[in-house]
A = this chain, B = another copy of it.
């Protein structure tokens, strides 16, 4: 018998793969949603990056219906999203806003909608925030505004009238920099001891899913890493 069921949105990214592996190792049934399959997951729901918001949502909802039948899940963990720089003067300014929006906010609103239907009462939802977006982000405007939208969505989901099942907890994690192969490649001379490891985040999700040390619903949880230790600043 499995320990429970979870859905990882963005299950093929660096963090998503770590989360899928961690929950599989802890005996969970795991569904992945992403632009491609995650072979470690029990089920992969594949959305097309060329599909619009509504079509991606339909793919996810019908995929979940087919995968779950009458079952509900213990957690929706959304770790989808990417990064793009640029200020208001950049040639690709609107393009980067649009990309950031579709990656972070489409996936987060679809997660909210799916959770309203497929999450158990008392279940857990995590959305992908970003610590820098708590302030202005002039060098990465599209990224910052999309993450700020995710933060405010999280606060809305923290209210009992949000449409989530009774007793559900919704939070955002707000990392500064995650220790991924891609970040190591592009920021090779950075101080890695201030980066948050994927394993730490995966274990955090596992604790919260199983009910240990859950923050209040609606919380923004900053992940502040110094000298290879990560502290949570919960707001």
Contact = CB atoms under 8 A, between A and B. Distances in A.
Interface of A: 53-54, 57, 87-90, 93-95, 97-98, 101, 105, 109-110, 112-113, 115-117, 133, 135-139, 141-142, 144-164, 218
B138 A162 contact: yes
A71 to B, nearest CB: 19
19 contacts: A57-B94, A88-B112, A88-B115, A89-B117, A89-B164, A94-B110, A97-B109, A105-B145, A109-B142, A109-B145, A135-B155, A136-B155, A138-B156, A138-B159, A141-B156, A141-B163, A144-B152, A145-B150, A149-B152
A96 to B, nearest CB: 10
Given A148-B148, A218-B136, A157 B88 contact: yes
A209 to B, nearest CB: 19
- Give the number of copies in the complex: 2
Given A53-B97, A145-B153, 13 more contacts: A54-B94, A57-B94, A88-B109, A88-B113, A90-B163, A109-B141, A109-B142, A136-B157, A138-B163, A141-B153, A141-B162, A144-B152, A147-B152
Contacts of A137: 152, 155-156
A143 to B, nearest CB: 10
Contacts of A149: 145-146, 148-149, 152
A88 B164 contact: yes
Contacts of A136: 152, 154-159, 162, 218
- What 5 pairs across the A-B complex have the smallest Cβ distances? A89-B163, A148-B152, A136-B155, A88-B163, A87-B163
Given A95-B54, A161-B87, A145 B156 contact: yes
B53 A98 contact: yes
Which of A87, A112, A136, A164 is the most central at the interface, judged by chain B CB atoms within 10 Å of its CB? Answer: A136
A133 B145 contact: no
Nearest to A52: B98
A95 B154 CA distance: 19
Contacts of A141: 109, 112, 153, 156-157, 162-163
B87 A109 contact: no
Contacts of A93: 109, 112-113, 163
A231 B98 CA distance: 35
